[in-house]
Structure 1
Amino acid sequence: MVKLTNGLGVNAIARQTGLARKTVRKYLERGLEVPVHGTREPEECLATEHRTYPVDRLSS
């Protein structure tokens, strides 16, 4: 068994994470890089364009 990441082997990592051994091995071979996610631009609320309708209906 190959010892990886803090002395844990593939089997130990698989048991702790609940993943299959092949999956653990695949990700370890790719490297342990943290995924980088960018910030999202705020989206316009769908109700914005219809916000005046209920106010107009209640005021008439």
Structure 2
Amino acid sequence: MVEFGAAVLGALAYFVRARPVFAGILPERHKYEQLLVICVLVLVVGCAAVLAGARRA
């Protein structure tokens, strides 16, 4: 569920990247560079969630 939430939040961040909430986080670059940053963050959160879940089991 954490990975799905991160992916949905990443998609939302890309579509509303001009809003002040996300504009402060994302670099002021081309939209594809912003998308790259969002994708890397989603991958990091997803991997961290999988590793945290693997330690519990």
TM-score by length of 1: 0.25
Which structure's relative contact order is higher, taking Cα pairs within 8 Å and 6+ residues apart? 2
**Which of these two proteins has the greater Rg computed from alpha carbons?**
1
Greater helix share, structure number = 2
Greater strand share, structure number = 1
